[in-house]
Structure 1
Amino acid sequence: MGYKNNKKIYDVSEVLEVFGKYQIIQYSLICVSTVFICMIDINYIFVAGNLKYRCRIPECEDVNSTAEFPTWWPITTRDACTRPVLKEGIFDACSNNSFIDKVEECTEWIYESNDTVVAELNLACQPWKINLIGTIHSIGMLISMAVCGWMCDRFGRKPTLVVGLVGSCMGQFKTLATTWPVYVTVEFLEASMSGGTYTTAMVLMLEICGQSKRILSGVLFSYFIYSGELLFASIAMFVPYWKNIVRIIYTPCIFFFCYIFLIHESPRWQIVKGKTEEAKKNMLLIAKTNKVNLNTEEFKNIDGASLKDKFNIKEHEVKESIVNVITSKEIWKRLLVAAVCRYTASFVYYGLMVNSVFLPGDKYVNFLLSTVMSFPGELICLYLMNKIGRKLPLMVGFIMSGVFCIASGYVSDSYTWGKIILFLFGKMIISACFTGAITYTMELFPTSARGSLLAMSSFTSRVGGMLAPLTPMLNSYSEAVPSICFGASALLSGVLLTLTPETKDLPLMDTVQQVEDSVKKKKELI
């Protein structure tokens, strides 16, 4: 870096360190799309939410019948899945004495409302089908993340992001489904398209900002995810009918086709892949947009090798194969820690979100409170990870979240606010860990394989997200069981983080060899 006519002249390697108008525009575009992808990701919580229902007995019902058990229902049974048998000759004016001491399988139900898929597809007394909708969605996202990770490294960040965003609008076809198999098939296909956009968007945001703004990029990304959750809960409150909700959250995705012209590729990826001319054009655009002064003539004449050298990327190291990755013990160790931490963050985060509707009180209010608590969690993440580092705050955060989760599980429902407060504190801290884990794991991996390795850790993240919707079924054994599962997973992650290094204030590694060299250098200094 030098000066010319009292204006600072930046070196090529410093272009991406300046956070300016270019990054603001790109971040805004990415984050707006994230709001809709987030709503798609959690749509099943209310769209396929469970309802109160009971068996319908046509001989006794009237126009005002509700899902609550009526006064004439026999006191010997309150089973919503079976119907008490009427005595012969009873056709109206039913009472407790109108039934014999026998029940039979129910074939018709009265629902609390017709606002969800449960009533539309008549899924009463089939809770496994209701819970499986969220799990199948997570399986689709899991596959998407694995495929998109490869596409992200092979074809680029931009095309992978655009394909995922536009493809997610196929979720509209759920409104045409008339059977459960058709509905979950569309749910799976839609998730298979949209799931990988999280990974791609985060990688792109990380690679176009400087070292000092990495945590900020993660926090901004997370804030828009939480904004999507808040927006979705608000829509669900005021537009309860599930088909209208689906139309509102999926239709705008078709307009993301214009991102072909608005989103730009990651220059760092282009350099690593040898796309020198494309990288130079992109970096000139960044410099011009951010009003960064470069030695234009020198920059235009720079060749691929010199450009890689500016970013500390050696020519022979760029040609690393999958063998270089899988034979590195350090990469495997980092991948293990990243996978467990990402699994825990997703499992606990989405598990608490799903279970928030089962807390005492209004389910919409509890869901909103659960989401709102994520915002201060991000501020904590931003402050501590910039002030102290990545590793220690994550370790303490996972352990504290685990303690709060276990404690909330053992508090009786009669202590309503005590249970809710412990629950919300656990949610706040795991929100901070969620964002911190994403940023930290991306910093652990080299650019040459960041997309693929991040996809592998994201794979376990979706496994956690896949299991989270099933945890309410554990309440039949004990209400404390889900909380114990969340807490144990969080405590394990906190312990495993002792195996990986601190990455604060360190440059992004571009190759596996750089990672290995950094470990050797650290050992020599000890």
Structure 2
Amino acid sequence: MTRESAKNVEKGSCQVSDILEVFGRYQIFQYVLICLPSVFVTMIDINYVFVAGDLEYRCRVNECEDTNSTSAFPTWWPNSTRDRCMRPVLKPGITSCTNESFTPQLTECTDWIYESNNTIVAELNLACQPWKSNLIGTIHCIGMLVSMFVCGWLCDRYGRKPTLVVCVVGSCIGQLKKFATTWDLYIVIEFLEACLSGGSYTPAMVLLLEICGRKHRILSGVLFAYFIYLGESLFACIAMFAPYWKTIVTIIYSPLVLFVFYFFLVHESPRWLIVKGKTEQAKATLRRIAEANKLDLNHEEFDDLNEAQLKQKFNITDVEVKERLAAVFMSKEILKRLLVSTVCRFTASFVYYGLMINSVLLPGDKYTNFLLATIMSFPGELISLYLMNKIGRKLPLMVGYVMSGVLCIGSGYVPDSMTWAKISLFLFGKMVIAACYTGAITYTMELFPTSARGSLLGLGSFASRVGGMLAPLTPILSTVSPTLPSICFGCSAVLSGVLLTLTPETKELPLMDTVQQVEDSIRKAKEIERSQRT
């Protein structure tokens, strides 16, 4: 919006092209509506942390059990073993169980006593099969990866609003998990649910961006992220007070059906309507925005606008500059930036979700630790915004990744007896990687030219999803060594920080439109550096 346009808006008059530049009551109401589903979708996307969480259990020895048997090893259990997956063998003719009643032999266990039925580990009898419970999170992430490929096309083909509503309401299919009696059926439902819930993020974010002006695009990203963090924290509270997994599923999935009313409450993106030639619908939405924000619009002039004129008002062109992917991948500079961006996006997702999932393994109450881990995302987002606007993109990311890596490794080597030291290092590592998560998205968007930005960012998003897929498997590494997950997180983060030395600072640079402009900017920067040395 120009200075003159801003003055006109303040006086009450408004040009057609400035309708979306004013942030008023319409945007506030729509922003709240659009962001609200992300609270529930976020809880769905991390439900496996507690729904499929591990439990304490031990092997059942029917000859020795009584009505008061618990998952704790009883006094009669042989001192030579504490393996919860193996069953000690009784000596022949034993009628009373003591420590001396067993032979040195062990046999594979087939029946267990669980501490509770709070997770599917007990109800689906998944004892001593940690790969099955951990694979549920990976299957969920694969479903979200599938949705990433499909939902973008659905948004462009059928609209942002219907895609958002169908994906959110369709996620109710997750309620069927309560009736699953086998692990195979459970993961099929988990996959289908993730294919739907994962598809809600893109239309929501696109809607937020397309109903506001340039000045408020950062605000839309921050607000959307904060609703996601709110969902993470709320999920921890729900699991804390209602730990039974079927209760959790009921609480987080049931409200989704109410979002069917979004067909009447949420309005389609006017920019999408204009692009698709739905001129009258676009005009109706723009008129609604002007009325809600109390803008003095020249209705006679507005009603006379045709499709071409409306596109011209909002700088929407029918043809965009495209470059062949072959030309993009022949550029060494682009390939270098692509390598850095994919590693950084992978690491941000891998460490962020890995720390969140592994927070339940820290010493102390698992619900409290998970809640603290989610809360640390809030200051991380503010730190990212402040430093990247004040200092730049590259340096804060480099320092952030390295610092997060050091904190992760440090937390892994602090003994459990030093509870607060271990948890503090862990939480600070989570806060810093949260800042890097947001910063990496912004930075990688600025690294690529407009002609190939969508395709290259898609590869970065794919790498991010792969990191999210591997994160749920990291608790298995704890069975090899308690420090192994922390080492993996730390090494990945440090590697990303080192790789960032290969890319330029983008804060003061204009967005490039073509690969040639990227190459020319690098060549010019090298010439300036060479001249300064001489």
Q: Does 1:203 align with 2:206?
A: yes
Structure 1 residues 446 and 177: alpha-carbon distance in aligned structure 2, compared to 1, 3 A threshold: farther
Higher relative contact order at CA 8 Å, sep ≥6: structure 1 or structure 2? 1
Q: CA deviation at 1:523?
A: 6.5
Q: Distance in 1 between matches of 2:297 and 2:514?
A: 30
Q: Does 1:33 align with 2:37?
A: yes
Q: Does 1:464 align with 2:464?
A: no
Contact 2:233/2:375, CA 8 A, preserved across alignment: yes
The residue aligned with 1:434 is 437
1:64-75 counterparts in 2 under 5 A?
Answer: 64-75=68-79
Q: CA deviation at 1:490?
A: 2.4
The 10-residue stretch of structure 1 (226-235 or 72-81) with the greater mean CA deviation from structure 2: 226-235
Q: CA deviation at 1:333?
A: 6.7
The residue aligned with 2:373 is 370
**Letter aligned with residue 42 of structure 2:** C
Q: Distance in 1 between matches of 2:40 and 2:130?
A: 28
Q: Distance in 2 between matches of 1:302 and 1:491?
A: 55
Render the CA deviation track for 1:243-272: whole Å, top value 9, x for unaligned. Answer: 111111111111111111222222333444
Q: Distance in 1 between matches of 2:262 and 2:63?
A: 59
The residue aligned with 1:111 is 114
Structure 1 residues 503 and 311: alpha-carbon distance in aligned structure 2, compared to 1, 3 A threshold: farther
Q: Distance in 1 between matches of 2:451 and 2:264?
A: 26
Q: CA deviation at 1:173?
A: 0.4
Q: Distance in 1 between matches of 2:48 and 2:105?
A: 37
Structure 1 residues 327 and 201: alpha-carbon distance in aligned structure 2, compared to 1, 3 A threshold: farther
1:327-366 counterparts in 2 under 5 A?
Answer: 327-328=327-328, 337-366=340-369
Q: Distance in 2 between matches of 1:23 and 1:297?
A: 24
Q: CA deviation at 1:471?
A: 0.8
Q: Does 1:478 align with 2:481?
A: yes
TM value normalised by structure 1: 0.89
Render the CA deviation track for 1:103-150: whole Å, top value 9, x for unaligned. Answer: 111111001111110000001011111111111111111111111122
Structure 1 residues 522 and 263: alpha-carbon distance in aligned structure 2, compared to 1, 3 A threshold: farther
Contact 2:381/2:438, CA 8 A, preserved across alignment: yes
1:66-465 counterparts in 2 under 5 A?
Answer: 66-91=70-95, 93-317=96-320, 324=324, 327-328=327-328, 337-441=340-444, 455-465=458-468
Q: Distance in 1 between matches of 2:198 and 2:370?
A: 22
The 10-residue stretch of structure 1 (182-191 or 488-497) with the greater mean CA deviation from structure 2: 488-497
Contact 1:87/1:98, CA 8 A, preserved across alignment: yes
Render the CA deviation track for 1:459-495: whole Å, top value 9, x for unaligned. Answer: 3222111100111112233333222222233234345
**Letter aligned with residue 56 of structure 2:** K
Q: CA deviation at 1:372?
A: 1.4
Q: Distance in 2 between matches of 1:418 and 1:228?
A: 27
Render the CA deviation track for 1:335-371: whole Å, top value 9, x for unaligned. Answer: 6554433322211111000111111111111111111
**Letter aligned with residue 144 of structure 1:** S
Structure 1 residues 525 and 97: alpha-carbon distance in aligned structure 2, compared to 1, 3 A threshold: closer
Q: Distance in 1 between matches of 2:305 and 2:422?
A: 62
Q: Does 1:53 align with 2:57?
A: yes
Structure 1 residues 218 and 391: alpha-carbon distance in aligned structure 2, compared to 1, 3 A threshold: farther
* SS of 2:297 mapped into structure 1: coil
* SS of 1:349 mapped into structure 2: helix
Q: CA deviation at 1:47?
A: 0.5
Cα RMSD after superposing both structures: 3.0
* SS of 2:67 mapped into structure 1: coil
Q: CA deviation at 1:456?
A: 4.3
Contact 1:86/1:100, CA 8 A, preserved across alignment: yes
Contact 1:141/1:196, CA 8 A, preserved across alignment: yes
Q: CA deviation at 1:391?
A: 4.5
Q: CA deviation at 1:411?
A: 2.5
Contact 1:216/1:382, CA 8 A, preserved across alignment: no
Q: CA deviation at 1:398?
A: 2.5
Contact 1:272/1:448, CA 8 A, preserved across alignment: no
**Letter aligned with residue 185 of structure 1:** V
Contact 2:23/2:212, CA 8 A, preserved across alignment: yes
Q: Distance in 2 between matches of 1:293 and 1:446?
A: 38
Q: CA deviation at 1:204?
A: 2.1
* SS of 1:196 mapped into structure 2: helix
Q: CA deviation at 1:332?
A: 6.8
Structure 2 residue runs without a partner (length 5+): 526-534
Render the CA deviation track for 1:389-438: whole Å, top value 9, x for unaligned. Answer: 44543343223222222222232333322221111111011112223334
Contact 2:400/2:433, CA 8 A, preserved across alignment: yes
Structure 1 residue runs without a partner (length 5+): none
Q: Distance in 1 between matches of 2:451 and 2:290?
A: 24
Q: Does 1:24 align with 2:36?
A: no
| Aligned residues between the structures | 517
Q: Distance in 1 between matches of 2:325 and 2:283?
A: 28
Structure 1 residues 115 and 315: alpha-carbon distance in aligned structure 2, compared to 1, 3 A threshold: closer
Render the CA deviation track for 1:284-331: whole Å, top value 9, x for unaligned. Answer: 3222222233343333333444444444444432xx67x656754588
